[in-house]
Amino acid sequence: MATPQQHEHFRVSFPAEHVIQVTLDRPEKLNCINKPTSREIAKVWEQLDEDENLWVGIITGSRRAFCTGADLEEWNQMAKSGIVNDMTAPGLAGLPRRSGKKPIIAAINGITMGGGFEMVANCDLIVASSSAIFALPEVKRGIAPVAGCLPRLTSTIGLQRTTDLVLTGRSVSAQVLYEWGFVNRLVDPSADVAAAAVELAQELCKNSPDSLIVGRQGIRMSWETGNVEEAVSNLEKEWYPKLIGGSNFAEGLQAFVDKSPPRWVNSKL
């Protein structure tokens, strides 16, 4: 297993086979992310997609917060200098507008606001402590959440709920977002939410890494285009040949026939 890495405002670890985890670690600023940190974390997701031995990513936070978004003190200094903050893809910590190849699980341990919420809105699965709080308070600071979450949230939780969150800036609980279909799994506040995310990642890793990639692509295509037939056609033309051409396709079928556990190999997709 690879060696953990310590960066100035986050840690990279490998908590299970095929799994890479980013832990935001700037508790004195509620894990807000400045631009240098954002660029460094984006490189971790590039590593996830490029390293055949890595199948699933996790992002979580330390102590009270998951992430409170961008560093507004940095923004303030940029504004005073006449610098317009860059909102191009893939966005804060490489997440709000990431397309990517492999799934990322958000493990929400606490306060999740602004850009932190925008990051989570584009993750593939969300595990949250039932005590976690979410908000998009940009409207209260003369800002707007334009990094990518508005169309994503509208698609995921609906027009009226998204409008409520964005135009009031109010906080909502993880329980509410679970009921709205945004959070996949709730964890008791006394439990380790990151450990729960690792368990979910291991559940994913029992399956073919090729299928994880192609299944995710199909979901993303339908989410992004909003056109079912277009998504199905593109998946069948672009990805299905790659899937059946890989050794894991044959392995899965043979293992079923033999009534034995499949022996997956790292994906070449």
* Mean pLDDT per 10-residue interval, the chain, length 269 residues: 88 98 97 95 98 98 95 73 74 95 98 97 98 96 91 96 98 98 97 98 98 97 88 94 96 97 97
Tokens of 152: 């994503």
- pLDDT for the residue numbered 75: 62
Q: What CA–CA distance (Å, rounded) separates 113 from 125?
A: 18
What's the token pair of residue 122? Answer: 């584009």
Our CA angle for 72, 78, 82, nearest 5°, is: 140
The owner of tokens 């995921």 is 156
| Residue 81 pLDDT | 74
- In terms of Cα–Cα distance, which of 220, 262, 252, 224 is closest to 239? 220
Q: Whose CA is closest to 95, among 16, 152, 177?
A: 152
What residues are labeled active site? 118, 138
The pTM (predicted TM-score) of the whole model is: 0.95
What is the C-alpha separation between 104 and 124, in angstroms, rounded?
6
161: CB partners within 8 A, 6+ apart? 153, 180
How far is residue 48 from each of residues 52, 67, 134, 238, measured CA to CA in Å?
A: 8, 21, 27, 21
Helices and strands of the chain, counted as H and E runs? 11, 11
Distance, CA of 221 to CA of 218 (rounded, Å): 5
Contact 87, 144 (CB under 8 A): no
* Residues 141, 143: Cα–Cα separation, whole Å: 5
Strands 133-135 and 171-173, by their bridges, are: antiparallel
SS3 90: coil
